[in-house]
Amino acid sequence: MHGNKAIKLGIGFATGRKSFQKVLRTYIHTWKESGLVDNQEISLNLFVAYDLIYNKTEITDYTDVDPELVEQIDGSTFIGSVAIKEEIDYLIRENVININEVRMIFGKGYAAKRNAVLYNAIKLKMDYLVFLDDDEYPMAVTNTRNTAIWGGQEVLTNHLKYITQADITHGNHCGYISPIPYIEFNDTMTEENFRSFIEAISNDIVNWDTLKIVMKNGGVTYADTKILTSDEAIEVQESNHAKFISGANLGINLTNPRRIFPFYNPPGARGEDTFLSTCLSERKVLRVPCYTFHDGFSTYNDLLEGVLPLRLKFIKADTEQVTTRFYKACIGWIRYKPLLLYITQRDQYEEKIEEMREQLKETLPKICAYFGKPEFMEVLADLEKYHGNVEKHYREFLDTQRIWAKLMEHFARR
């Protein structure tokens, strides 16, 4: 640490991409530009939980940060399998939690990586933590004059401005948020077929009305100029038993560890941000007026080199990469949908599952034919599998919170 600064801010990445270093460099430059680096009151601390298997990367792809960039921050913690094992050994030795409980928090998957970042930030006594993603950049794009207009975004500054008033701050996203490509409907798959499919697998945030607008824009979500020019944060209201957030451009107030919830997702699924959303009924969540640009198809790495296109490409379902990404997203969604329904609509759960089952039986053959990918039939198989395990996953969801509360009590006493 550089001195005893008043505010200790953690910046967290759960990453597995080689592009991490380029993204980190861009962010650090924005912190310098916004005055955060030279602010004697704020200590900037990096927390990186990395996955070597996801993209066959090496440890140095994350840890080998340019010395000039290292000088701009006050501390850095890199969290790989060795660091996690050391922490597990410590927790067991101190009788905080046992070996089976450890696996619930620091096992495999996206939630475990986020929990590792969250845990280390609390352990090192950060006041606040902002999660960033390795495929999101500190910029916003609008389309007000039929051409893309770009603007830089001071993400950390915005979260810091409001996080003292909230438990969680949540920013906005533009760019290629949705993994659903632009689709030209035909006799093989009509708009009604596709709508029925999306409604079967999606949640309250990924809904057809929103997606239809995004699809017409070629898969692009543009920033709202009213939000860009606003100085106000908006309190997120509960909807269907959840205050919806996203896993990145996300600030968490760490000043009272007992108020913090962990991330959870069913094995092999996503949705760790959605499940956290269902825990926030008694927490204050603010949506802050800043954006990040989501490069969901990894087609705009040149943005980090200063190349600002006048028009954003339509993402069409005409390449293996795009089709595969959409397929993986569908699998990720269907694997967490049963548990989400079980948590938020228990009284209608069986009825909703049956409705999804019928929609998928009708639409999946058309989806397979349209995309030329018979693997899409796995969506129905996974629905049945995760529906069959929903009570087990719900117990794990509750156990994760119970075990996490033990960890937080340990830190609160310290």
Phi, psi of 25 (to 5 degrees): -60, -45
- The larger pLDDT score, comparing residue 413 to residue 196, is at 196
Token output for 369: 């034919």
Contacts of 114 (CB under 8 A, 6+ apart): 12, 14, 49, 131, 247, 263, 272
What is the structure's pLDDT at 165? 95
What's the token pair of residue 342?
Answer: 């079980």
Helix (H) or strand (E) holding 402: helix 390-413
Q: Which residue in 115, 181, 191 sits closest to 313, CA to CA?
A: 181
* CB 20, CB 132: distance < 8 Å: no
Report the distance separating Cα 2 and Cα 60, nearest Å.
25
Distances (CA, A) of 96 to 290, 405, 407: 39, 11, 7
Q: Amino acid letter at 271?
A: G
Digit-coded pLDDT (tens) for 221-249: 999 999 999 999 999 999 989 999 999 99
- Give the whole-angstrom CA distance, residue 355 versus residue 85: 44
Average pLDDT, the chain: 93
Would you say residue 54 has pLDDT above 50?
yes
pLDDT, tens only, 9-51:
999 999 988 889 999 999 999 999 999 999 999 999 999 999 8
In the prediction, which pLDDT does 217 show? 81
Is pLDDT above 50 for 1?
A: no
- Return the CATH number of the domain spanning residue range 7-413: 3.90.550.10
Compute the distance between CA of residue 319 and CA of residue 295 in angstroms, rounded to an integer.
Answer: 17
Query: Mean pLDDT over residues 67-89, rounded?
Result: 94
d(CA 139, CA 174): 9
Q: pLDDT, tens digit, for every residue of 197-218?
A: 999 998 766 678 778 888 888 8
Distance CA 132, CA 24 (A): 10
Q: How confident is the model at residue 3 (pLDDT cuts 50, 70, 90)?
A: low
pTM for the model stands at: 0.95
Residue 337: is its pLDDT beyond 90? Answer: yes
**With b meaning 16 or more CB within 10 Å and e meaning fewer, what string describes 300-311?**
beebbeeeeeee
The DSSP bridge pattern shows strands 136-137 and 139-142 to be unpaired
374 DSSP assignment: G
C-alpha 317/C-alpha 118 separation (Å) is 37
pLDDT in tens, 155-164: 999 999 999 9
- Where do the domains of the chain lie? 7-413
Q: Does residue 316 sit in helix, strand or coil? A: strand
Residue 265 has pLDDT above 90, yes or no: yes
pLDDT band at 412 (very low <50, low <70, confident <90, very high): confident
Question: What are the C-alpha distances in Å from 301 to residues 122, 254, 257, 298, 329?
Answer: 32, 32, 37, 7, 21
Long-range contacts of 85-93 (CB under 8 A, 24+ apart): 87/119, 87/120, 91/407
Mean pLDDT (whole number) for 336-365: 96
pLDDT at 162: 97
What per-residue confidence (pLDDT) applies to 206? 66
Q: Are strands 139-142 and 250-253 parallel, antiparallel or unpaired?
A: unpaired
- The structure tokens listed for 276 are 């956290």
Say yes or no to pLDDT of 414 above 80. no
The helix (run of H) or strand (run of E) holding residue 7 is strand 7-15
| Predicted local confidence at residue 107, as pLDDT | 85
Residue 262 is predicted with a pLDDT of 97
Please give the Cα distance from 11 to 383 (Å, whole number): 35
Output the CA–CA distances (angstroms, integers) from residue 9 to 1, 35, 125, 157, 361, in the order listed: 12, 14, 9, 11, 49
Burial pattern 13-43, b for ≥16 Cβ within 10 A else e, equals bbbbbebbbbbbebbbbbbeebebbebeebb
Between these two residues, 259 and 18, which has the higher pLDDT value?
259
Residue located via tokens 């709508």: 195
Amino acid 4: pLDDT: 77
User: Dihedral, CA atoms, 179, 203, 332, 385, nearest 10 degrees?
Assistant: -150
Residue 106 · residue 112 · CB < 8 Å: yes
Give the pLDDT mean for 321-328: 92
Confidence of residue 270 (pLDDT cuts 50, 70, 90): confident
d(CA 86, CA 91): 9
Q: Please give the radius of gyration of the chain, using alpha carbons only, rounded to the nearest integer.
A: 21
Rounded alpha-carbon distances, angstroms, from residue 121 to 125, 183, 410: 6, 42, 14
